[in-house]
Amino acid sequence: MRPIIGLTISYENEMCTCRRDYSEAILFGGGLPLMIPPTRDKEIHQQLATLLDGLLLTGGKDINPYLFNEEPLPGLGVVEPERDLMEMSLSQEFIRTNKPILAICRGCQLLSVALGGSMYQDLPSQKEKLLQHTQRAPRNHPSHRVKVKGESLLFRITKQRDIRVNSFHHQAVKIIPDRCVISGTSLDGVIEAYEGKNDPFLLALQWHPEAMLKEDVTSQAIFKSFISACRKGV
């Protein structure tokens, strides 16, 4: 039986949307994707954390700086306050129930804030000597390198100390939560991956492995490992 994986979605103009490659990546890994509708009801979040086998926090718009006690900077983009609050609550419930979480791009940033970390609202105006983090190449094209920490979950999955990833972000994690450890950085020092110290499977990635899935064995390994962790609870 395939484990059921909850996918967070974007809300815009009375529509709920999610890029197709997220669900395709879950199917590739052996899971069954289920899009989670918008709701602020914490009882529903608790029930979802009980019923689902894993959570994929997807990409999207910017994170509201109010959530990490900052005023908005000029470089801040469009935010989705309702989505932010829902996903923070949902993430905390999945942590509480020890369910696997894979967080991608915006999801990586949101999870950090939900667990007590902080963020750069706008990398170009807040950090010097940056690489290009919003690539102009196609989504499936690797852009820059990530140095992977030895003995990390990410290293055990990829079996590489140096990987190439795509990049589509101007926000980033500044300080990771206390319960986590950095597992990958770009050559300019930006946090590209972190993971839980003692969680069954908690992995946050700043890039989009789902967009590189067809040609990239590292991306394939990430989703297979995530679904394998989710399957243990089935």
Q: What positions carry a catalytic annotation?
A: 105, 208, 210
Best CA proximity match to 207, nearest among 197, 196, 222: 222
Tokens of 2: 């395939």
Alpha helices, DSSP H, located in the chain: 20-29, 42-51, 81-96, 106-114, 123-126, 153-158, 217-231
Burial of 200 (C-beta count, 10 Å sphere; 0-12/13-18/19+) = middle
Q: Give whole-number Cα distances, 161 to 99, 147, 158, 199, 223, in Å.
A: 27, 6, 8, 22, 18
Best CA proximity match to 104, nearest among 189, 197, 219: 219
Tokens of 178: 């206390």
Scored b (16 or more CB within 10 A) or e, 72-94 reads eeeebeebbeebbebbbbbbbbb
Q: Residue 199 belongs to what H/E stretch? A: none
